[in-house]
Amino acid sequence: MTTQPDPLVIRSLDFCGGMAAPGGWRPDPVQPEVAFAGRSNVGKSSLINKLLHRKAFARVSHTPGRTREINFFEVNKRFMLVDLPGYGYAKVSKAAKATWRPLIEGYLSATPVLAGVVQLLDVRHAPTDDDLQMLDFLAEIACPVIVVLTKVDKLGVRERVERVQSITIQLQLDEEQVVQFSARTGEGRDELARAVVQIVAGHQMPVPPAT
C-alpha cells in the first residue's frame, strides 16, 4: 500500500486573537483567510483539530454555543484559519443570536483577503434555514465554498448514501463537490486539506492602496 503525502503538513500554528464585535479588533489582513462556518454542535472544533493534527487546539465543547468570538489561527505563516461562532443553537437567546449574524456577515463581507469558506453540515440532518441563508449569503458575495458533511461515521452505508444524495440534491451540488468527513475515523481529512490548500493557492491577494 502506498501512502499519499500529507497535503497540509502543519509546520507552525499560532493563535492570533479573537474578534468580538463587528468592526472590532482583528489581526492585520496580510494572509489569505479560510473561514469555517456551521451550526453549533455540527463538529467544527473536532474537524479543525483533525485538519491541524492537534488533539485539542480548537476547544471541543460540550456546551453548544459557547464560542462567540471569531478566532484567528495562523497556519504555516501562510494562511489564516478563521473559526466563526456556531450559529442557530435553539437554546441560545434571541438577543445572543442577534449579535452573531452581524458579526459573521460583517466579517465575511468586509474581508477582501477571504479566500473561501468551509461550510459544515451534519450529514444526518437536512440543512436548516440558517444553513441555507448562510450559503445564499456566500453566493451573493461570490465567496468560494467547500461544503463538508460531518459525522459520517454515525450512519450505516445505506443511510449514508441516501443522506448524501438528499443533501446534495437540495443544495444543487454534485456529490464530488462535497467532502464527506468524520473526525472520529479521519475520513475526508486529506481531501479537505487538499481543498483548503487549493483555495489558498488560488486566492488573489488584493493590492494594498499606494501610500
Ligand X SMILES: Nc1nc2c(ncn2[C@@H]2O[C@H](COP(=O)(O)OP(=O)(O)OP(=O)(O)O)[C@@H](O)[C@H]2O)c(=O)[nH]1
Other residues' Cβ atoms within 10 Å of the Cβ of residue 92: 17
Stretch that binds ligand X, among 58-66, 106-114, 129-137, 198-206 (CB under 6 A): 58-66
Strands 145-150 and 79-83: unpaired
**Residue 172 near residue 205 (C-beta atoms within 8 A):** no
Cα gap 111→106, rounded to integer Å:
9
How many residues of this chain bind ligand X (CB under 6 A)?
22
Contact pick of 34, 35, 39, 45 for Mg ion (by CB under 5 A):
45
Residue 113 phi/psi, 5-degree rounding, is: -85, 5
CA distances from 188 to 61, 91, 153, 172, 180 (A): 22, 30, 11, 21, 6
Q: Does 71 bind ligand X (CB under 6 A)?
A: no
68 binds ligand X (CB under 6 A): no
Q: Which of 66, 97, 101, 194 binds ligand X (CB under 6 A)?
A: 66
Binding residue (CB under 6 A) for ligand X from 33, 36, 37, 44: 44
Residue ranges that bind Mg ion, judged by CB under 5 A:
44-45, 67
Binding site for ligand X (CB under 6 A): 38, 40-46, 60-61, 64-67, 86, 150-151, 153-154, 182-184
